[in-house]
Amino acid sequence: MTVDADRLRKLIEAMAQSIFAHADELTALDQAIGDGDHGLNMKRGFEAILRDVDPAAAPLPDTLKSIGMTLVMSVGGASGPLFGTLFMTLGKELPPAPSRDDVVRAGEAAIAAIKARGKSEVGQKTMLDVLRPALDAFAASEDVVQAANQAAEATVPMKAMRGRASFLGERSIGHMDPGARSSALLIAAATDTLGRS
């Protein structure tokens, strides 16, 4: 798959627009089990990306690294470094014109890097609970967007074991994890722009 400057621009815009359109929802999710800043955090991050990352300046890997670094620098909270790690690792691992196998390999590396950074595992009610099943669906040529949305829904009955939501213990049960929801939004936006194969 060749991702030229035009596609990179569309990818960045699609992810940013989806985050902007859902910022209030992400905030409401984080109000329920966190500190209510997730919508604002993600919005600030993607505003900085639109401002600072030039999709025509570099090929896919370097642009992904720039997106990741911009998230780390502009977003406070847990999610900035974790989403930053996701994009930076994809940038480090993907070649300029990735194959399907390249995407699976880079996705595995990104999940491993998030786990290391967050000291977290799948099943703890975080973004990982969407990224893991979405990558499995992609590897199996299944519907990635459906898998991501179902996985975000599946965080509702989970008990949070990492991040601020874990402070609530049992009371975190019954709400969708905000980072799981934003992960599903980003996956849907990327799939819309880049296609499903």
Shortest approach of ligand ADP to residue 165 CB, angstroms? 6
36 vs 59, beta carbon nearer ligand ADP: 36
Distance CA 94, CA 108 (A): 11
Shortest approach of ligand ADP to residue 78 CB, angstroms? 4
Are 84 and 71 within 8 A, CB to CB?
Answer: yes
Q: Torsion over CA of 24, 29, 32 and 35, rounded to 10 degrees?
A: -70
177 touches Mg ion (CB under 5 A): no
Distance CA 10, CA 192 (A): 10
Residue 179 binding target from ligand ADP, Mg ion, none, CB below 5 to 8 Å by type = ligand ADP
Distance CA 67, CA 148 (A): 21
Which of these, 142, 102, 126, lies nearest to 182 by C-alpha position?
126
Structure tokens at 118: 């967050």
- For 117, residues 6+ apart whose C-beta sits below 8 A from its C-beta are 81, 82, 85
Distance CA 111, CA 134 (A): 11
Q: Lay out the site mask for Mg ion across 31-70 (x = CB under 5 A, - = otherwise).
A: ---xx-xx--------------------------------
Within 9-28, the residues that bind Mg ion by CB under 5 A are none
35 touches ligand ADP (CB under 6 A): yes
Q: Which position among 8, 15, 22, 30 is part of the footprint of Mg ion (CB under 5 A)?
A: 30
Shortest approach of ligand ADP to residue 3 CB, angstroms? 27
Structure tokens at 22: 């859902």
178 touches ligand ADP (CB under 6 A): yes
93 touches ligand ADP (CB under 6 A): no
37 vs 60, beta carbon nearer ligand ADP: 37
Catalog residues that contact ligand ADP under the rule CB under 6 A. Answer: 30, 34-35, 37-38, 41, 77-79, 82, 114, 118-120, 126-128, 162-164, 177-180
